[in-house]
Amino acid sequence: MSRNVQVKFLSETPIEDIDATNDQVSSLFDTSTGQIVFQVPIRGFHFEIALMEEHFNENYMESEEFPNSTLQGKIENWEEVNSEGGDVVVVGELTIHGITVNRSFDGNIKFEDGNWIVQSEFAVNAEDFGIKIPKIVRGQIAETIVVMVEGILTPRK
């Protein structure tokens, strides 16, 4: 179990790069099965420019109506890597903006200093989750967003 997980995202366009960081992410990981869950509070994303954060929450993510994003999945190759760690594939349900999509994600996990260290980077298409980007700002906001996840999961005693 952990609250020591960080999710970042990056929207890269020729006009502008937009990035945000969220340190309020929580995760559960069952080492006996490889099941893993992440809960990401949308209002936990912070931007350099406050107006971007406001637009993100009100206009795009509608965080009052959809306060969390989640991933509920399983490390598909857990039996192969569970004692050593290594490259993994997580298969599960990703829910963003109230829409759930079955996805797989490449990542890495390792056991270090009594903790599980997890890392993944993947792309999310805004349209797949019903996030509308108005034409007027389409050049400034990428339709495909890069998401980076890093976390330290500490076993329960």
Average pLDDT estimate for 12-38: 93
Q: What is the pLDDT of residue 3?
A: 84
The phi-psi region of residue 56 (left if phi > 0; otherwise alpha if psi is between -120 and 50; otherwise beta) is alpha
State pLDDT tens for residues 36-55.
999 999 999 999 989 989 98
Average pLDDT estimate for 133-148: 84
How do the domains of the chain map onto residue ranges? 2-153
Average pLDDT estimate for 131-136: 81
Question: What's the CATH fold of domain 2-153?
Answer: Lipocalin (2.40.128)
Q: Which residue has the higher pLDDT, 110 or 136?
A: 110
